Structure 1
Amino acid sequence: MSEQKLEIFNVLNFLNSGYELEDILKEGNFGTFPSAEDCINYLVENGYLSGEGETISAESISKKYTVAQLKELLKENGLKVSGKKQELVERLLPVLGESSGDYELTEKAKEFIEENQWIDLYMFALVAFRFDDYETYVKASAEDDVQTALKFCDEIISRALMSNQFLVFIDALSAKAHVYAYDGDYESFLDYDLQRFILGLNPIMDLDAQTYASYDIINAANVINLKNVTERFNFGSLKKRFDQIWAKSHIKSITVPKKTSYKFLQKALSGADIEELNFDLREKYFNKKYGI
């Protein structure tokens, strides 16, 4: 039921934000519903949507989409893209289900969205962690949504440190940064994303062979976040902030020296190829240290 609750919230929340139902259903992943049409039927039957939907026919799909657009929609839904236009239309028909028609959110739907706003924060910052676990944590918390999320991240960080789970630790650090961003605290977002970059180059736990094999020393998403926030806001000298975060990180075993780490940060923010940077880091620092 928890996964279904997540899917229902996302559909209703997007509708409440002004998106068209047809567009939401085309983009969505409905793991607990066989099809988009089943999702709509559930929402109507359970009192979340009211009104009548206009059934989409093969003819209406054929008129609305070009062959290229049909193939793109099929590709997005993991379906074959070969064949004539009519074949593409027939293949896509079950996916599109029903259009938005005259459906409207009911009061029940609006109350559901209001009561479960914490899911919006989960989707923004915490999707690296199990929804069921976070839902249980939320139910037991007396804090507001942001404080609950921050404490959840702190507990994961603490457990990861004790159990030597470096990738979980890094994910929780990144998640905490995003919780601050969700709350509009972009300075804290920058600090935690900087720490994620620094500790990415200087793991504070031993990496076993399996972890090391799948580990991106410089994470592309992390670099994009840092680039966006430093371009959008002026929080003073990045070098000075980098030095402060380095000091707070209490790195006992340095893998990449501080000056070199900052140079790699500058290169990454300047648009250097991340794969090449990671290759250089592995060759010069990581392979020797971890005996690979």
Structure 2
Amino acid sequence: MSEQKLEVFNVLNFLNSGYELDDILKQGNFGTFPSAEDCISYLVENGYLAGEGGNVTAESISKKYTVAQLKELLKENGLKVSGKKQELVERILPVLSENSGDYELTDKAKEFIEENSWIDLYMFALVAFRFEDYETYVKTSSEDDVKTALNFCDEIISRALMANQFLVFIDALSAKAHVYAYDRDYESFLDYDLQRYILGLNPIVMDAQTYATYDIINEANIINLRNVLAKFDFGSLKKRFDKIWAKSHVTNITVPKKTSYKILQKAISGADLDELNFDLKEKYFNKKFGI
């Protein structure tokens, strides 16, 4: 049910933002619905969508409209109104077929979007974590959407540190950065993405299984840093890097601070990340982790 709730919210929220239904359904992944058509049927039957929709046929038009109604529709569209009912049906069919995708959000749909606005933030920042877990957390929170999401990330970070789950910890740092981005606090977004970079190069803990598939420099992390630095002027990157390094309490150093910063500059400038990752493993990680 939770997964279906997520899918329903996404469709309704995109519609509410001005997207066309056909475009939304082409992009969608309807895990709990056999098809996009089943999703539409569900939304209509449950009172979330209203209006003319679906495949319009001559038979469906004939059943739905009287002769008088058909003539009125034809008149509104500048078409001839003479003839038998079947002729009127055939004449109006192209018009109704063209408008067959016109659905409108009902008041129920708008209330659903407003009541579940937290899902939009989940989709933006927290998809690394189970929707059901976050939904349960939201129900117990009295804070606003952003504060709730930040608290959730902090709890994940705390539990991950206690359990030595480094990848969960690093995902939670990234998620927290994106919560700030959602709230348009791009300076905090930069700070947490820098921390994610620093601790990515200096893992608190790392086992052989994790290391086997671990990218020391995360591509998405570098893209985020590159984009925010290109868009905003937050002063000296070196000074900010030094501040975040100190804040991160890096005690288990794998890649020295000076080297970490130089590599960051290279990555942001467009250096090949695969090559940088290879060099880091060869020079620092393989020896330290006994691989």
- RMSD between superposed Cα atoms in Å: 1.4
Looking at structure 1, the residues matched to 268 and 245 of structure 2 have their Cα atoms a distance apart, in angstroms, of 18
Matched pairs, number: 251
- 1:223 aligned residue: 222
CA deviations over 1:172-229 (Å, ceiling 9, x no partner): 0000000000001000000000000000000112x11110111110000000000000
Structure 1, unaligned runs of 5 or more: 58-97
**Do 2:56 and 2:100's aligned partners in 1 also have CA atoms closer than 8 Å?**
no
Could you tell me the TM-score, scaled by structure 1's length? Answer: 0.84
Larger Cα-atom Rg: 2
Match of 2:159 in 1: 159
Per-residue displacement from partner, 1:55-93 (whole Å, max 9, x unpaired)? Answer: 299xxxxxxxxxxxxxxxxxxxxxxxxxxxxxxxxxxxx
Shift of 1:250: 0.6
C-alpha distance in 2 between matches for 1:136 and 1:54? 35
Residues 178-217 of structure 1 aligned to structure 2 (within 5 Å): 178-205=178-205, 207-217=206-216
2-structure distance, mates of 1:4, 1:145: 21
Query: Which position in structure 2 is the counterpart of 1:285?
Result: 284
Query: Which letter does structure 2 place at the counterpart of 1:195?
Result: Q
Please state how far the C-alpha of 1:99 moved relative to its aligned partner: 8.8
Q: Which residue of 1 aligns with 2:273?
A: 274
Runs of 4+ in 1 over 6 A off after TM superposition: none
Counterparts of 1:43 and 1:54, CA distance in 2: 12
5+ residue gaps, structure 2: 58-97
Task: Tell me which residue corresponds to 1:264.
Answer: 263
1:38 match: 38
TM-score normalised over the length of structure 2: 0.85
Among the aligned pairs, what percent are the same residue?
A: 84
Question: Partners in 2 of 1:117 and 1:248 — Cα distance?
Answer: 33
Q: Structure 2 matches for 1:1-292, cutoff 5 A? A: 1-55=1-55, 101-205=101-205, 207-292=206-291
- One-letter code of the match for 1:45? E
1:54 Cα deviation after fit = 4.1
CA 213–99 in structure 1, closer or farther in 2 if over 3 Å, else same: farther
Secondary structure of 1:246's aligned partner = helix
Using the alignment, how far apart are the partners of 1:222 and 1:230 within structure 2? Answer: 12
The DSSP-based 3-state class of the residue aligned with 2:203 is coil
Look up the SS of the partner of 1:173 in the other structure.
Answer: helix
Q: Distance in 2 between matches of 1:220 and 1:48?
A: 39
Aligned mates of 2:250, 2:199 — CA distance in 1: 8
1:116 to partner: Cα distance: 0.3
